[in-house]
Amino acid sequence: MSGQLSGRVAVVLGAGSLGEGIGIGKAIALAFAGAGAHVAAFDVDLAAAQETARLCEEAGGRAEAGAVDVLDDAALTAAIAGVAERHGRIDVLHCNVGLGKAGPSAATSAADWRRIADANLTSLHVATSAVVPVMSARGGGVVLATSSIAGLRDVGYPHLAYGATKAAAIHFMRLFAIEHAAAGIRANTVIAGLIDTPRIRKTLASSYGGRSFDEARAARAAQVPLARMGTAEDVADAALFLASDRAAYITGTELLVDGGLAATVRQAGT
């Protein structure tokens, strides 16, 4: 994979991890840096973004870090503009933002819904609007988004606002891809299945009926035909492929990284 993005500049939104370990955004940043890109790693948590940038550089890559709240339209636009000004280009934008609220939908207030929708969907519009002029001026680029299996199907526990907005994000990327294809901009979505990341330690047990973390983790893995949860690196490998010239004729579509989960039917009692 080395050298696939040599000389390019990649912006990764949501590049930090919630706790120790490797989350999807961090893994994507590391994969892009390992393939030769200069990575601008952004996260709402500056320390998390800095940790990602440090790991990229320790692995021999080039990276910078910044704090940005994707709910702040002006700050998000300015962050992307700053990268373009410093480097004269942006070749890849990967929007890896995910906000949700598990549990019965009646417990999701209108304010919760707006915040989740703004994070998962509106930020896509703001970020892509900021990067399109930069990419168009250079004859093209790649825009990627991370969506979720929850945007395609029920995953065994209530997650309505997250699932609905992640479904909308998939269609946003399809329409965006067609609108900007003539400018040489490719756009695709990586749909992540049940992935083993630091985030699940904060949400998993409550989503699986109050089971212990180990019990919930085992139940989650058992849902997948390949009998394991995916890793952040599994998702990052797909993102790197789509960002590279190996995917030069791929746009307006999705790459499922789910161990076969989307092809299954949940059995009664599971």
Catalytic positions are 162
95 - beta bridge partners? 13, 145
Interatomic CA distance for residues 94 and 86, integer angstroms: 18
Q: Angle 213-222/200-207 helices, nearest 10 degrees?
A: 80
Nearest CA to 50 among 36, 37, 63?
63
DSSP 260: T
Read off φ and ψ for residue 109, nearest 5 degrees: -75, 165
Q: What is the DSSP string of 64-76?
A: EEEE--TT-HHHH
- Given a contact cutoff of 8 angstroms between Cβ atoms, the answer to whether 221 and 204 are in contact is no
Report how far apart the first and last C-alpha atoms of the chain are (Å, whole number): 39
Q: How many CB atoms lie within 10 A of CB 125?
A: 13
Q: What secondary structure letter does DSSP report for 266?
A: P
Buried b (16+ CB within 10 A) or exposed e, 66-102: bbbebbebebbbebbeebbeebebbbbbbbbbbbbbb
Q: What is the DSSP string of 13-69?
A: ES-S-SSSS--HHHHHHHHHHHTTPEEEEEESSHHHHHHHHHHHHHTT-EEEEEE--
